[in-house]
Structure 1
Amino acid sequence: MPGFGRSGRRRTAMISTATAALLVATACSGPAADGGGSIKVGASLPLSGPVADASKPAYEGYKVWLDEVNKDGGLLGRQVELKVLDDGFDQNTVVTNYNRLISQERVDLLLGTFSSKLNLPASAVAERNKMLYVEPSGGASEIFTRGYDYLFFAQPSTSVDLPEQFLAWLTALPADQRPRTAAYPTQDDPNTDVVVEEFRKELTKLGVKSVYSEKYAPETVNFDSIAGAVARAEPDLVIHGAVGTGDGAGFVKGLQKQRFSPEILFQTNSPSVTGSYPRAIGAKNTEGIFTTAAWSPKAGYPGNAEFVEKYTAAYGAAPSDDAANAYTAGQVLEAAVKAVGSLDQDKLADWLHSHTVQTIVGPLEWDERGVPNGDMLLAQWQGGEFQIIAPESQKTVDSVVNPKPEWS
C-alpha cells in the first residue's frame, strides 16, 4: 500500500473558550530513551452527559491498553502517562480539551474521543497541529472527506458500510418474509445520520416503504411522543439511529409503553453496550434486537482472548464494543511508535498509511483518508447473549431470531 505525503493539504483550525477538568488515569515515570520522563498521551471523552454510559467502557479500554503497555516496558523505553479530559459530549468543550492537551499539557501523542459528533471537530484540532489522531469511534463519512493526513479510524469499516451485513441477511430472506414498511427515528448526529440514510436508500431499492422518518435532539430524554408516532405508523421494521444506552433504551421503553413491538428492530450502537443495555430495557426484552459491531469477544485474532480476560479481571464484567475499540486505537498508536522508533508525527502517519497493524478487531490497513478496509459484524441478542450472526467467518451462532418476540 503506497505512502501518502502531506504537501498542499488543507488545515482546519477551531477554537473555543469552554473548560473541562483534567483526569490522570496513570502517571508512571521510567528510564528515558528518547527525551526523558514519561510519554504523555492525551484524549478527551464524554465522561459526563448523555452518552457517559457508553464512554466509560472506552475509557476503561484505554486504561487496559495503558497498563499492558507499561507492564511491557512502555514506549521507547519510557513509561506512558494517559491524560483524559471530560468534554460532556459538547463540541466546543472537546475543541478546548484537545487545544489544552496540545498547548498546555504538552502531550506527545493523541487518542480520539467518542462519536462522530465529537471526533469531527477534535480531529481538526489534531490536524491543524500536525499530530497523529487515532480515533476509536466516529465513522461518519464527512470526517474523512477533508483531506486530512494524520487521521486514522481504529475500526474495521466506517458508517457508510455499517448496514451491509444486515441488508445482505434481509435480501436473502424469501420475498414474502421481508418487511414491507420501515420507520427511521434517529438522533441528530453525523454518524447516525449517515447510517440511517444509507439504510433508507438501500431498503427503498428493495421496495420497503418509509412510513416514519424523524430526527430528535441529542438531549432528548422522553421518547413517548416519538415511540407513539412510530407505533401509529405500524412499521414491520424499525431502524433506530441511537448513539448510547440513554436514547437506545429510552426509545425501547417508549415502544413498550405503546405496546408496540416491530417484527424486526435494528439499533445502532446502544445494543453493543453489553453491560448497561440489558439492564436498562430488561434482559428478556433484548431478544432478537439487531445491531452492528466492530468486534467480537470470541474472535480468534491475536491478543483478543487476553484483552477480554484482562478487562474482565479489572472491571468485573466482559468488555463492550466501545472498550474494545478504544483498546484497538491504543494498539494502533503503539504499533506505529514502536515501528518508527520515535515520536515524529509525520513519520508515524506515513508508517500507518503504508503498513498493516494486527489488532483485536483483525488486521487494519488504511487508505489516504485514514479509512480502513474491512467488514463490520452483524450482531443480535439471543438468549441473553450478544451473538455474532455474520459474516460467516465470525459467527458465534447459526440461527437468527426472526421475528422479534413481543416485549416481556
Structure 2
Amino acid sequence: MTQWNRPALGLAATLTASALALSACSADAGGGGSDDTITIGISLPLTGDFSEPGKGVQRGYEAWAEMVNADGGLLGRQVELTILDDQSSADRVVQDYEALIAQDQVDLVFGPFSTRLVVPSARVAEEYGMLFVEPAGAAAEVFDQGFENLFYAAPAIANDHYNHLAEQILALPEAERPQTVAVAAMDDPFAQGTAYGLRDKLADAGLDVLVDEVYPPNTTDFSSIAAKISDSGADVVIGGTQYQDAVNLIVALQQLDYQPRLAAFSTAPTNPEFSSAIGEQTEGILAPTGYTPEAPWPSNVEFVEHYTETHGNPPAEDEANAFTTGQVVAAAVEAVGCAEQGDCQQQLIDWLRENEVETVVGPLSWDDAGRPQSAHMIQQYVEGDIRIVLPADAAEADFLFPKPTW
C-alpha cells in the first residue's frame, strides 16, 4: 500500500508529496499498525541539500521491506514503512519523528540520512525510549552526545574511513611519498570528519597542509576554492564532500588542469551517477566505502540480486547502509520477540549492546556509544570501474599511484 500527502498530526507544516507509506500488505495503516503489521517510521531528506543520498537510503529501506515481507515479515507480521520528507531540515526532522512516534504511534523507527539530521532525530527517539539504528550519521559528534539508544549501521565512523589509505600513503618510500595536501570540506560533520581524519593523519606524519577550505552546504560555485588548490600545486587533494558539491569541485579542478598525485573524495565516487556527472575522467579517484556489491556475505548476494532486478543496477553504499539498518533492527526484533513502543524498546537496545549481527556489510558489533567496531575499505576508479584497492586482503584491483591525469 502506498499513501501520498499523509498528514502528520500537530504539525504546522504540510507534508509534501514525497511523504509516503510503503507496505506489502493490504491492511490499512493505523496508529502503531494492526495485529498483522509492524509499522516503522522514517524521515528522509527526499528534497533539499541531501536529496540525492536521501533517495538512495529510501531505496535501500524499501528493498529491505520488500524482501522481509516476501519472506514472511517480522515475527510473522508484515512490515509497513512510513517515510516522510524532512526536506534536509533539522527542524523538520525533529517534527517528523515527534509525529511518527507520539501521534502515529509507530512500532519502530529507522534513522535519516546525514549527521546533521541524525543528531536531532536521535534525541527525539531517546526521549521516547526508542531504539535508533541509523545508516548515515558517521561523524564523531554523533557518538559524543551520550546517546544510549543509537547504533550506526556501517563498519566505521567518519574519522576512521580513510585509515587504510593513510597507512598506504605513509608506507610509501620517502622519495615517492606525497609531501603536500589541499583540503576542501563541506560545513557538515560527516564530510569534515572523513576529510579531517585523513588530513590529520598525513599532517601528523609531516605532510604540509597548503589549503584547508570549508564551504557552506549549498555552495555551487567552486571556482575560487579550485583556484586556491590549483595554485598550491598540492600533491594530494582531499574533498570532504557529499554528492553534487564533489561533482562541481572536481569539474572546476579539471577545468584548471590541476593534476594531483592523489585525489580522494568522500561519498560521491560511490554514487552510480558519478561517472556520467563528471565525464570519463574518473581514473584514479579514491573514496572510502563500507560496502561493495561483490561482498560474499550470503545476505548481500540476495540483496544485490533483488535490488538489481528491481532497479537495473546494483546497490550503492547508501542503499546498502539502509538495508543494513533494517537487518540490524530485524535481528534484535526476532531475538527478543517483540516490536512495539514501551519496555520492548529497551530489550532491543540491550540485545544489540551484547550481540553481533550478520549484515550485507559484514558482521557488526558496537561499543557503548554505538560506534561500529570494524573498518572501511578504499575504492578507486581503475580502468573506468570503481574497485576495492585497500586493504590488500580485500582488493579487487591494484592501488593506482600516482593518479593518472584527468
Quick one: distance in 1 between partners of 2:13 and 2:372? Answer: 33
Question: Residue 101 of structure 1: CA displacement?
Answer: 1.1
Structural mapping, 1:226-305, within 5 Å:
226-244=225-243, 246-273=244-271, 275-282=272-279, 284-305=280-301
**Correspondence for 1:128:** 127
Structural mapping, 1:65-76, within 5 Å:
65-76=64-75
Quick one: distance in 1 between partners of 2:391 and 2:53? Answer: 25
Question: Residue 35 of structure 1: CA displacement?
Answer: 6.3
Gaps of 5+ in 1: 1-14
Structural mapping, 1:242-391, within 5 Å:
242-244=241-243, 246-273=244-271, 275-282=272-279, 284-343=280-339, 344-391=344-391
From the superposition, tell whether residues 165 and 18 of structure 1 become closer, same or farther in structure 2 (CA, over 3 Å).
farther
The alignment status of 1:26 with 2:23, answered yes or no, reads yes
From the superposition, tell whether residues 143 and 18 of structure 1 become closer, same or farther in structure 2 (CA, over 3 Å).
farther
**Correspondence for 1:11:** none
Question: Residue 30 of structure 1: CA displacement?
Answer: 6.5
Q: Secondary structure at the match of 2:392?
A: coil
Q: Is the 8 A contact 2:111 2:132 kept in 1?
A: yes
Quick one: distance in 1 between partners of 2:38 and 2:135? Answer: 20
Q: Is the 8 A contact 1:20 1:97 kept in 2?
A: no
Structural mapping, 1:162-177, within 5 Å:
162-177=161-176
Q: Secondary structure at the match of 1:113?
A: coil
**Correspondence for 1:12:** none
Q: Which runs of 4+ in 1 moved over 6 A?
A: none
Question: Residue 207 of structure 1: CA displacement?
Answer: 1.4
Gaps of 5+ in 2: 1-9
Quick one: distance in 2 between partners of 1:360 and 1:207? Answer: 37
Question: Residue 104 of structure 1: CA displacement?
Answer: 2.1
How many positions carry a matched residue from both structures? 387
Quick one: distance in 1 between partners of 2:224 and 2:88? Answer: 24
The alignment status of 1:95 with 2:94, answered yes or no, reads yes
**Correspondence for 1:114:** 113
Range 383-392 or range 290-299, more displaced: 383-392
Quick one: distance in 2 between partners of 1:73 and 1:29? Answer: 14
**Counterpart residue type for residue 175 of structure 2:** D
**Counterpart residue type for residue 152 of structure 2:** F
Q: Is the 8 A contact 1:134 1:153 kept in 2?
A: yes
Quick one: distance in 2 between partners of 1:198 and 1:28? Answer: 45
Q: What TM-score comes out, normalization by structure 1 length?
A: 0.91
Range 224-233 or range 350-359, more displaced: 224-233
Q: Is the 8 A contact 1:29 1:38 kept in 2?
A: no
**Correspondence for 1:394:** 394
Question: Residue 16 of structure 1: CA displacement?
Answer: 8.9
Structural mapping, 1:121-200, within 5 Å:
121-200=120-199
Question: Residue 25 of structure 1: CA displacement?
Answer: 2.4
Q: Secondary structure at the match of 2:92?
A: helix
**Counterpart residue type for residue 94 of structure 2:** V
Question: Residue 37 of structure 1: CA displacement?
Answer: 3.4
